[in-house]
Amino acid sequence: MKLHKESKGTLIIAVLFIAFIGAISVYYLQLWSLAVLVPLLVMLGLIFWFFRVPERAILDHRENVVAPVDGKVVMIKEVFEDEFLKEQCIQISIFMSPLNVHICRYPVSGEVIYKKYHPGKYLVAWHEKSSTKNERTTIAIKSLTDHTVVFRQIAGYVARRIVFYCNVQDEAKAGHEFGFIKFGSRMDVFLPLNSEILCKIGDKTKGGIDVIARLKD
C-alpha cells in the first residue's frame, strides 16, 4: 500500500509513542500487556489506512466538475460567495470522515488565479458556519470553459493541518492532487448558478472519479 508523503511525521510520532507505551506495558504488566498493545496496534493500522494513496485512472475533463475528495455530499444550496466571486453561486459541500482518503484534488481544469490561507476556529466540519469560521484555504480557478470556480479546504474539529501545494498561474487538472487535510474535514465547491448539478445530498463521492456537476455556457 502506497502512503502519502504527509504521513511521515505522523507515523514517526505514532510508532515511537506505541513502542514506548508497549515497552512500559510489557515490563510492568507482562501477560496483561496485550490489553494495551492490541488497541495501540489497531490505532496504528488506522493511521496507515488514513494516509493511503489509492491508484485511480484520472480522465481529462473540460466541462465536468469532479469530486475533489472522497466523502459524502452534505450540502447543495445557493449562497453568496463573498471572498472572491462576490456573487450568488451554487455551493456543494463534501464531508470527509477520518476513514476517507484525504487527498484533495482540483475539481476543474484550468489556471489557478487565486489562493489564500485563513486561520480560524475548529467547528465540526459539517457545521454550516465552518465554511467561513474555521481554518481554511480558498482557491479559485479560471476553467477551460472560461468559468470561475472557487473551492475551499476546511479544517474540522479533528483536522488541525491543511496542506496545499498550488500557486497562482499553476495549471490545474481536474482530478489531480493539489493538497491534503489531516483527519476529518470538508471541501466546499462554489459553481456558477447555471451549472448542471449531477449529485444529491447523501451521495458518496470518489475524489477525481465521480462527476458532481457540469459547467454550461
Catalytic residue among 93, 130, 185, 195: 185
User: What's the gap between Cα 104 and its chain centre?
Assistant: 5
Vertex 164 angle, CA 73 and 12, to 5°: 100
The C-alpha cell that represents 203 in the structure block: 451521495
Q: Is 102 left (phi over 0), alpha (psi -120 to 50) or beta?
A: alpha
**Helices 34-50 and 7-29, packing angle to 10 deg:** 170
- Residues 56 and 37 sit within 8 Å (Cβ to Cβ): no
| 25: annotated active-site residue | no
What distance in Å separates the CA atoms of residue 182 and residue 10, rounded to the nearest whole number?
Answer: 10
- Neighbouring CB atoms inside 10 A of 195's CB total 21
What distance in Å separates the CA atoms of residue 191 and residue 177, rounded to the nearest whole number?
Answer: 20
- Return the active site residues: 185
